[in-house]
């Protein structure tokens, strides 16, 4: 749908030496904002009056102990969950609270890669990548395939177009999942522990692909990871979570080398 006036999905010129554009015309300034967001499950308050924002083009990493609410934030942004209180805006448009039609439009700006790759098992690798651009964005099949092949080249899997997901290693499946998310030309890519289900020898290949995307595109990334070296490499900002609150935030240098909060020090001491 390259003639569509919906700017976010128009093809952009490749960056020199880049790994495929992967992205859409970019907003500047604040892209994601959570204001006083509270999420409860029963009596359990998982996110407590949470405020934070992510600027366009930035790479923000969420770290913190298990159960601190990191995945819940990504699920709220994916509209897989709704907050109990508060407001979420994406690129200036309200995602919550908002009418369903508006939610669907905003949702197109957000791509997510999960820990479990969630590929469509009955479709080829190529079709996994072209399916949503064709059915959701109305892209022609030919255009979607050209784009899918570019993305497969970017993730180093040009020879796997016709394979089924079950014929791929976990690392290869995850790289297909990354290509599939980028095929929708999202403005923001949400990554939730995308290497934690992988065998150790497959982790580096996936992280290299993500480093490449971070370096060669201007896509905004909001990333949950336990890979602290990766977080240090790609992040503009690191947010330390504990019990549904941001207890410390700053540059990776600051958070990893000189954290102020005792809880951050304790957490990093345990994971590093
Ligand atoms: N659907 C749900 N129903 C009830 N409780 C839930 C649900 N989803 C999450 N929780 C609870 O919310 C809290 C935060 O969960 P969340 O998955 O956001 O943590 P996390 O920081 O991503 O942890 P981890 O590092 O282990 O992935 C946990 O205590 C979890 O048990
Ligand atoms: Mg989680």
- Digit-coded pLDDT (tens) for 225-265: 999 999 999 999 999 999 999 999 999 999 999 999 999 99
* Residue 68 CA to ligand 2 centre (angstroms): 8
pLDDT of res. 11:
34
Q: Considering only CA atoms, which residue is closest to atom 31 of ligand 1?
A: 67
> Ligand 1: which atom is nearest the Cα of residue 193?
27
Q: Considering only CA atoms, which residue is closest to atom 6 of ligand 1?
A: 41
Q: Which of 220, 254, 218 is nearest to 239 (CA)?
A: 254
The per-residue pLDDT for range 171-222, each reduced to its tens digit, is 999 999 999 999 999 999 999 999 999 999 999 999 999 999 999 999 999 9
Q: Considering only CA atoms, which residue is closest to atom 22 of ligand 1?
A: 71
The per-residue pLDDT for range 96-150, each reduced to its tens digit, is 999 999 999 999 999 999 999 899 999 999 999 999 999 999 999 999 999 999 9
Q: Considering only CA atoms, which residue is closest to atom 30 of ligand 1?
A: 67
> Ligand 1: which atom is nearest the Cα of residue 75?
18
Per the CB < 8 A criterion, the answer to whether 249 and 239 are in contact is: yes
Q: Name the band, by pLDDT with cuts 50, 70 and 90, for residue 26.
A: low
Q: Considering only CA atoms, which residue is closest to atom 8 of ligand 1?
A: 72
Cα angle, residue 219 at apex, residues 132 and 241 outer, rounded to 5°: 100
Long-range contacts of 117-122 (CB under 8 A, 24+ apart): 117/165, 117/170, 117/173, 117/174, 117/176, 117/177, 117/197, 118/177, 119/165, 119/173, 119/176, 119/177, 119/180, 120/165, 121/164, 121/165, 121/166, 122/164
Per the CB < 8 A criterion, the answer to whether 67 and 41 are in contact is: no
Residues 6+ apart with CB under 8 A from 239: 52, 60, 61, 62, 63, 246, 248, 249
> Ligand 1: which atom is nearest the Cα of residue 81?
1
> Within 6 Å (CB) of ligand 1, which residues are found?
41, 46, 66-72
Radius of gyration for the alpha carbons in the chain, expressed in angstroms and rounded: 18
The residue assigned the tokens 């390259």 is 2
> Ligand 1: which atom is nearest the Cα of residue 226?
25
The Cα 106–Cα 90 span in angstroms is 7
Choose the residue to mutate in 69, 227, 242, 246 for probing ligand 1, maximizing ligand atoms within 8 Å of C-beta: 69
The Cα 204–Cα 37 span in angstroms is 35
The per-residue pLDDT for range 65-79, each reduced to its tens digit, is 999 999 999 999 999
Burial 108-145 (b: 16+ CB within 10 A, else e): bbbbbbbbebebeeeebbbbbbbbbbbeebebeeebbb
The Cβ-side half-sphere exposure at 91, using a 13 Å CA radius, reads: 20
Cα angle, residue 9 at apex, residues 93 and 181 outer, rounded to 5°: 90
Cα–Cα separations (whole angstroms), residue 259 to 72, 84, 107, 253, 256: 24, 32, 35, 9, 6
Cα–Cα separations (whole angstroms), residue 230 to 29, 60, 171, 181, 238: 25, 12, 16, 20, 12
The Cα 82–Cα 76 span in angstroms is 6
């Amino acid at each position: 749908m390259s003639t569509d006036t919906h700017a976010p999905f128009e093809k952009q010129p490749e960056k020199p030496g880049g790994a495929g554009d992967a992205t859409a015309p970019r907003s500047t300034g604040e892209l994601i904002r959570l204001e006083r967001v509270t999420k409860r499950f029963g009596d359990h308050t998982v996110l407590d009056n949470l405020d934070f924002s992510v600027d366009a083009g930035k790479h923000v990493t969420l770290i913190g102990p298990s159960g601190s609410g990191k995945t819940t934030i990504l699920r709220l942004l994916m509209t897989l969950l709704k907050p109990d209180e508060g407001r979420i805006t994406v690129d200036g448009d309200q995602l919550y609270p908002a009418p369903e039609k508006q939610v669907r439009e905003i949702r197109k700006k957000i791509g997510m890669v999960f820990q479990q790759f969630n590929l469509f098992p009955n479709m080829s690798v190529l079709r996994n990548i072209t399916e949503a651009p064709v059915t959701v964005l109305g892209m022609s099949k030919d255009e979607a395939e050209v784009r899918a092949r570019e993305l497969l080249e970017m993730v180093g899997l040009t020879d796997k177009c016709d394979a089924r997901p079950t014929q791929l290693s976990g690392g290869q499946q995850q790289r297909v999942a990354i290509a599939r998310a980028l095929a929708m030309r999202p403005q923001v890519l949400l990554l939730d522990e995308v290497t934690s289900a992988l065998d150790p020898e497959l982790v580096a290949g996936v992280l290299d692909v993500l480093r490449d995307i971070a370096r060669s595109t201007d896509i905004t990334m909001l990333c949950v990871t336990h890979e602290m070296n990766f977080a240090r490499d790609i992040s503009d900002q690191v947010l330390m979570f504990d019990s549904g609150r941001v207890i410390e935030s700053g540059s990776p240098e600051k958070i990893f080398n000189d954290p102020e909060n005792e809880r951050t020090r304790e957490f990093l001491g345990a994971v590093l």
